Amino acid sequence: MTSNQWQTKKLGKFTLRFRPYTLEMRHVFTVASFSRTTTPVVLTELEYEGIVGYGEASMPPYLGESQESVINFLNKIDLSHFSSPFQTQEILSYVDLLAEKNTAAKASLDIALHDLLGKLMHQPFYKIWGLNPTQIPPTSYTIGIDTEEIVRKKVEEAGQFKILKVKLGLDTDKMIIDTIRSVTDVPLCADVNQGWKNKEQALEMAHWLKERNVVFLEQPMPKEMIDENAWLTEHSPIPTIADEACQRLADVTKLKDVYTGINIKLMKCTGMREAKQMAELARSLEMKVMLGCMTETSCAISAAAQLAPLTDWADLDGALLIGNDIFDGMTVENGSCILPDRPGIGITKTNHTK
């Protein structure tokens, strides 16, 4: 995708605009299976009667989407047979059925539609949903896999955060934890990104990590290892959270006895509508709920934050990891997520908007 120009589609009473944009990471970002310095996104705008809602699709390479695939999907959308954005369920069901997968592309439309609806109602979406923003858990800040020196530097930079998320899954796991513990004693959550392959070794690590104030394990083993993950969950001294194993609403019930909880991300589940449904279903099943993100601008982060009061843990640092955010929205103060009292998802464009 070479051009960063906006594409515009007039769709009855709606106008849909979208364009590619590349997020630049502040540090090389390394997890168990890959490293990267940029993340491709597509920015969307949905306009109705002069009011514009903003959306975003973020596509880390492992999700299988690209700027080209998102733009191809958005070009298929025809909203001309809808007379109002308040036909929300019909619109989003129609979009979901247009093609399989394409969850980030679908999320970009979902977020823009929710932003538009909130602006039409002159209310932030957390108020429309009846949620209290003071109940948002402190967000974690992610420390990627790196050298001892860089890990120490990243932890020192993250001094305001009350909890840190640590990427594990390689043979440097203990070094990384020991390095972090030489700098800070704040609670940690460990994201293994499917990096462990043996359940007994995983359990041994779970006990070792608990002694070092790690509060949960995210996706410890490959998602295909269902029995092994269930065994680990049964024996682990700390909760286990499904990430790669949990994509959409239909996955939640199947994971009840395999993991302690689920990690919900808008880019995996097609956006705010389904994310809220997943949180409520998990709660009804007495599962823990984590709200995560990809590398994203403040657009998608602020959208996710609208439902963060429903969760046990928040991992909403995606916009803090980039150097070219083009929105103002949710901010982090002393590790706490602060939602602006603005309508929709609460964002405005910054002066750096290109």
Domains of the chain: 7-122 (3.30.390.10), 127-349 (3.20.20.120)
Residue 97 clears pLDDT 60, i.e. is over it: yes
Q: What is the mean pLDDT of the chain?
A: 95
pLDDT at 354: 47
In this prediction, residues 290-299 reach a mean pLDDT of 97
pLDDT at 32: 63
Q: What is the dihedral of CA 310, 311, 312, 318, to 10 degrees?
A: -150
- pLDDT of 125-141, one tens digit each? 999 999 999 999 999 99
pLDDT at 61: 73
How far apart CA 97 and CA 102 sit, in angstroms, is 10
Residue 205 clears pLDDT 80, i.e. is over it: yes
Closest CA to 27 of 125, 153, 196: 153
Kindly state the percentage of the chain with pLDDT values over 90: 91
In this prediction, residues 288-312 reach a mean pLDDT of 97
Kindly state the percentage of the chain with pLDDT values over 70: 97
* DSSP-based three-state secondary structure for 72: helix
Residue 353 clears pLDDT 60, i.e. is over it: no
pLDDT at 33: 65
pLDDT-based confidence at residue 54 (cuts at 50, 70, 90): very high
pLDDT-based confidence at residue 2 (cuts at 50, 70, 90): very low
Q: Classify residue 134 by its DSSP letter.
A: G
Contacts of 254 (CB under 8 A, 6+ apart): none
| Full-model pTM | 0.95
Residue 56 clears pLDDT 60, i.e. is over it: yes
Residue 1 clears pLDDT 60, i.e. is over it: no
Residue 83 clears pLDDT 70, i.e. is over it: yes
How far apart CA 186 and CA 296 sit, in angstroms, is 25
In this prediction, residues 318-347 reach a mean pLDDT of 95
- pLDDT of 228-257, one tens digit each? 999 999 999 999 999 999 999 999 999 999
End-to-end CA distance of the chain: 17
